[in-house]
Amino acid sequence: MKESIGEHLTWTWPLVGSVHADTILTTWVAMVVALIFLAWVGNSYRRPRVGKTQTIFEGVIDYISDLVYGSLGRGGEPFVPFFIALFIYLFTLNQFGILSYPLHLLGFPFGGSPTGDLNTTVPYALLIFLMIQVVAVRKKGLGYYRHLAQPFAFMLPINLVDEAMRPVTLAARLFFNIFVGELLFIVVASIVRQQVMIGPFNLSLAAAIVPIFIQFFNFFVGTIQAFIFTLLGIVYLSLATTEEH
């Protein structure tokens, strides 16, 4: 088992410098898993009749597309596949920590969840941020940036900070939720390993059941956070692209 958290195996790549090897490897595997899953679900839509696969996953896809249509209107149609893929991909990344402990035991250079690394979540938040800028400028022209000086010109610094904090909070929320989940797991595991005795009472034996609950909590948190990341992306996009009154 991983003894410490926040330490990563590093590779040195030309042009980029040192990278976190375990995060990158885990991300690749999660990417393959998510791509295969999406291809499998997408393939079921090509058949003339509604199959089992489509029926099962129609709920998730319908739900996210309803959210996109609800906040972006008909103009949100091109973004439906992006947000569905984002949700499923982030869900895979968040849940990958459960698999990675056995894989780590077998000697693979895998760490925890890739989203438990700030280097994974910051690019995704920046991706959402840049996408919103590009979409808004393509739709409204450079006049889009007029909203920064509204309702009054002296609100400019506040609006700028508000705008700039969005990717920061988006990245920090996802990162800390997953990271602290793994940290709690490791803290409890170290309590279990240290054989803490309080008089005749073996605290470590009693604490041995706690990791199961922590993994349930992590599953819940990972699902909720993947959904919140997607939903906040949709909300920020709708704030940027809908018409002003």
Partner 1 sequence: MSSEALVAAATILAFGIIILGVAFGSAVGDGIVASKAVEAISRQPEARPNIFLFMFLGIGVLEAFPIIGLGLGFYLLLVVANVPALLSHLAK
Contact residues toward partner 1 (CB under 8 A) are 6, 172-173, 176-177, 179-180, 183, 187, 221, 224-225, 227-228, 231
- To the nearest 10°, the Cα dihedral for 141, 145, 150, 156? -170
Do 170 and 128 contact (CB within 8 A), yes or no? yes
Burial 167-196 (b: 16+ CB within 10 A, else e): beebbbbbbebbbebbeebbebbebbeeee
Query: What is the DSSP secondary-structure string of 29-83?
Result: HHHHHHHHHHHHHHHHTSSSS--HHHHHHHHHHHHHHHHHHHHHGGGGGGGHHHH
- What is the rounded CA–CA span in Å between residue 2 and residue 108? 12
Nearer to partner 1, 197 or 224 (CB): 224
Residue whose structure tokens are 């610094």: 157
Do 94 and 178 contact (CB within 8 A), yes or no? yes
Cβ 180 to partner 1 shortest distance, Å: 5
Cβ 183 to partner 1 shortest distance, Å: 6
Cβ 172 to partner 1 shortest distance, Å: 6
Nearer to partner 1, 120 or 135 (CB): 120
Nearer to partner 1, 133 or 204 (CB): 204
Nearer to partner 1, 41 or 226 (CB): 226
User: Which among 113, 61, 55 has a CA at the least distance from the CA of 86?
Assistant: 61
Cβ 62 to partner 1 shortest distance, Å: 14
